Amino acid sequence: MNLILLGPPGAGKGTQAERMVADLGLIQLSTGDMLRAAVAAGTDVGRQAKVIMDRGDLVPDEIVVGIIADRIEEPDCKNGFILDGFPRNTAQAKALDVMLTEKKLTLDAVLEIRVDDKILISRIEGRARESGGERSDDNAEILKKRLAVYHDQTAPLLPYYEAQNRLKVVDGMLSIDAVSEEIKKALNA
């Protein structure tokens, strides 16, 4: 099963993806994690991405599309993967469609974890405090930027996948366990 997890920053995509890895035996492919690894490793891509990530913008499409194209070729993706944080805009979604068709892979579902902006801001403020500044993109000001980028660039993917009949909406304001249950129900439906 190949899935996309969509939702604003702080919606709990990473947490739910980890649970789905454990429950469904899928691989989690987080472009955010991969980019942070590149930053930590000090690669050219990492150096280029860091400034962009720190200001809450999206890194160039060709970088993330290239990362995902290489990653889904790996043998551990054969049993299925969860795309967490990719695609982030229509150009990436279209590139993904082409990539999947070329590799003869199907996209089984797109799960939207839906959360109100107000709740997100309080969640992210908590996360920024916990991380003690480890994630320099996690402060409230940058969050507002990231939310604006989500509404402006990523939210148009919702009608895009709705039109493909693949979109399933889950209430992300429930408890973590309840959201996991909703996801299971949505995938079985």
Active site residues: 13, 88, 127, 135, 146
Query: Distance between alpha carbon 77 and the CA centroid of its chain, in Å?
Result: 17
Residues 6 or more apart whose Cβ sits within 8 Å of residue 19: 180
Residue number with CB closer to ligand AMP (66 or 185):
66
Helices (H) and strands (E) in the chain, counts: 9, 5
- Dist. CA 156–CA 170, nearest whole Å: 17
Residue number with CB closer to ligand AMP (176 or 185):
176
Among 4, 5, 39, 64, binds ligand AMP (CB under 6 A): 64
The site string for ligand AMP over 109-128 (x = CB under 6 A, - otherwise) reads --------------------
The pair of three-digit structure tokens given for residue 82, joined into one six-digit string: 């969860």
Q: Which of 12, 150, 2 is nearest to 81 (CA)?
A: 2
The pair of three-digit structure tokens given for residue 23, joined into one six-digit string: 């429950």
If one asks whether residue 96 binds ligand AMP (CB under 6 A), the answer comes out as: no
* Beta-bridge partners for 30: 84
Q: What are the Cα distances from residue 58, in Å, to 16, 98, 102, 130, 174?
A: 22, 21, 25, 24, 28
If one asks whether residue 88 binds ligand AMP (CB under 6 A), the answer comes out as: yes
Among 59, 107, 128, 157, binds ligand AMP (CB under 6 A): 59
- Dist. CA 15–CA 6, nearest whole Å: 13
Among 9, 12, 93, 157, binds ligand AMP (CB under 6 A): 9
Q: Which stretch binds ligand AMP (CB under 6 A): 57-65, 103-111, 114-122, 169-177?
A: 57-65
If one asks whether residue 31 binds ligand AMP (CB under 6 A), the answer comes out as: yes
Q: Which stretch binds ligand AMP (CB under 6 A): 19-27, 40-48, 86-94, 97-105?
A: 86-94
Give the residues lining the site for ligand AMP (CB under 6 A). Answer: 9, 31-32, 35, 52-53, 56-59, 64, 85-88, 92, 137, 146
